[in-house]
Structure 1
Amino acid sequence: MKSARQGKPAQPYFGVGFEGVGELFSVFTPKHWELIGALREGGAMTVAELARQLKRDYKNVHNDCERLIEWMAIEKDENGLVYAPYDEIVVDMKLPDRRAA
């Protein structure tokens, strides 16, 4: 809202929710973070090119891309190239309620 008060266009906000930390970590595994990082550094590319760059099996990288596309962490363009559209992913976690003393 601060942007609107200053007459600047507001940046769109996008968020997803997870049932718990287990689901979060099943989506954002270390290999998935590596994949997202490779796309951020290398830009849009085919899944085959991404698999070669990561030195991983094509089928596994393809499955990882499908999972990350499902969670909207990466996207596929009209030419079939995958890319990471976000320059940051912020994780905000609510801790369990505190027990009464």
Structure 2
Amino acid sequence: MSRGQIRIGVKGEAAINREFVEAWKQAERGALKEPEVHLYFLNVATLQGVLSDRRVALLKVLRRFGPSSIRNLATQVRRDYRNVYDDLQLLLKAGLVEKDARNRVMVPWDKIQTEIDLAA
């Protein structure tokens, strides 16, 4: 099942907290249209560590071909099973990948948008 898009970015704790409080206030007023999903990292190095080239490649293959076993995915991307497994565990913790009822991994997002606020 697709859940639209997730926005990934780099923000400090204070900015994250302000955004959360503002969304809470909008929800209380009934002004919050559709929930937006955000994933923030405190620095660029951590973001780049999670979204490495190989992990982004896994996300693209999963999105293109749909739910897959880890073994099948490792075969498709021609990588060692253990390395794919480790990458998927990190992506699962970040919420970028999920498991379906048959325990296959899948990407629930149509789009992952990353942004880095240079003015912050």
TM-score by length of 1: 0.82
By percentage of residues, which structure has more strand?
2
Q: Give 1:90's aligned residue.
A: 113
> 9, 15, 36: which one pairs with 2:38?
15
Aligned residues: 88
Higher helix share: 2
Q: Which has the higher contact order (CA 8 A, sep 6+)?
A: 2
Unpaired runs of at least 5, structure 2:
1-32
After TM superposition, the runs of 4+ consecutive aligned structure 1 residues lying more than 3 A away are none
Deviation per CA, 1:42-86: give whole Å up to 9, x if none.
Answer: 100100000000010000000000000000111111211000110
Whose radius of gyration is greater, 1 or 2?
1
Q: What value does the CA root-mean-square deviation take over the aligned residues? A: 1.2
Q: Percent identity?
A: 31
5+ residue gaps, structure 1, are 1-9
Deviation (angstroms), 1:28: 0.2
Inter-partner Cα distance in structure 2 for 1:78 and 1:13: 25
